[in-house]
Amino acid sequence: MQHAEVLTGHKKYISLTRPHTLTASFIPIFVGTAATLPFGNIRWSMFFAMLIATLLIQSATNMFNEYYDFKRGLDSKDSVGIAGAIVRNGMKPKIVLTYALVFYLIAALIGIYIAYSSSWWILVIGAISMAVGYFYTGGPFPISWTPFGEVFAGLFMGTIIIMITFFIHTGTLHIFPLIISLPIAITIGLLNMFNNIRDRVKDAASGRKTFVIIVGKERASQTVNFLLILCYLFIIVLSFTDLFASLFMLLPLLSINQYRKTVTLLKEGDLPIELIPAMAAMGKLNTMYGVLFSVGLLIYGLLVH
CB atoms closer than 10 angstroms to residue 207: 9
Of the pLDDT bands very low, low, confident and very high (cuts 50, 70, 90), residue 80 is low
pLDDT at 247: 85
Domain limits of the chain? Answer: 2-304
CB atoms closer than 10 angstroms to residue 90: 11
Q: Please, what is the average pLDDT of the chain?
A: 88
pLDDT in tens, 180-227: 999 999 999 999 999 999 989 988 988 899 999 999 999 999 999 999
pLDDT at 4: 47
Query: What's the rounded Cα separation, in Å, for the pair 136 and 67?
Result: 12
Architecture of domain 2-304: Orthogonal Bundle (1.10)
Looking at the whole model, is its pTM more than 0.85? yes
pLDDT in tens, 109-147: 999 999 999 999 999 999 999 999 889 988 888 998 999
Q: Which residues contact 248 (CB under 8 A, 6 or more apart)?
A: 239, 295, 296, 299, 300
Handedness of CA 117, 119, 124, 129 (dihedral sign): negative
Query: What's the rounded Cα separation, in Å, for the pair 300 and 108?
Result: 33
Angle 287-47-100 from CA coordinates, rounded to 5°:
75
pLDDT in tens, 25-79: 899 999 999 999 989 899 999 999 999 999 999 999 988 888 887 777 666 555 5
User: To which H or E segment does residue 154 belong?
Assistant: helix 149-154
